[in-house]
Amino acid sequence: MRTLRGVIIGGIIALVCAGGAFAQEAPDRAAALAAWDDIHTVVSHPRCTNCHVGPAGVPLWEGLGHEEAADQAPVHGMNILADESRIGAETMPCRTCHISAASENNVPHAPPMIADAWRLPPIEMAWKGKTSAEICAQLRDPDSNGAFTPEDLSDHLRTSAFVAWGFDPGAGRAAAPGSIPEMQEALAIWVAGGTPCVGDPHP
């Protein structure tokens, strides 16, 4: 009887200790929010927000060395509109200049090319002008992040030609800060910590 009691108590202690160890290993809310700050530094960079624009479908050239008005971000040259289709089908298709072919993009001022159809992200993925908390809520919601679960976003980072180009746009263009592996690391911490956003109620 004493032996059985000892086994039971020992098992309970082991479970409690294991739970404590897991809690220590899992990112806490503060670590997850810090990781989100790193993610937001990337997604709020002009290299990303110039295409993650709203329903007007007007791509931007902000923060890329072009002359800028004090109160307005510079729009894409040649009066380009991606329109509702997000590919310019109603006016001039993006592929007219942005040919769908892999390229090192080492010619300054030439239209960048990647091995994918050039286009703007869907309207529900608009980030330009949004707060950190608003973008955070978008990215954890499959209805507003391209139908990805938070866990699947890492695969998107790894496989998207657009993401790869953003970190290595070529020809002296301003790149998004950091790297894909660093972004994946921050994303993993944010997801493991429960994808918290600033302003969420504490659990």
Residues 45-93 pLDDT 10s: 999 999 999 999 999 998 776 665 556 668 898 889 999 999 999 999 9
Report whether pLDDT(109) > 90. Answer: no
pLDDT of residue 25: 57
With H, G, I as helix, E, B as strand and everything else as coil, classify residue 135.
Answer: helix
Nearest to 52 by CA among 86, 94, 89: 86
pLDDT of residue 73: 67
pLDDT of residue 8: 35
- Per-residue pLDDT band for 202 (boundaries 50, 70, 90) equals confident
Compute the distance between CA of residue 47 and CA of residue 163 in angstroms, rounded to an integer.
Answer: 10
Report whether pLDDT(141) > 50. Answer: yes
Report whether pLDDT(11) > 60. Answer: no
Report whether pLDDT(31) > 60. Answer: yes
Among 7-21, 62-76, 127-141, 178-192, the least confident range: 7-21
With H, G, I as helix, E, B as strand and everything else as coil, classify residue 24.
Answer: helix
pLDDT of residue 17: 44
Work out the angle at residue 89's Cα, subtended by the Cα atoms of residues 83 and 93, and round it to the nearest 5 degrees: 100
pLDDT of residue 102: 94
Domain ranges of the chain: 29-192
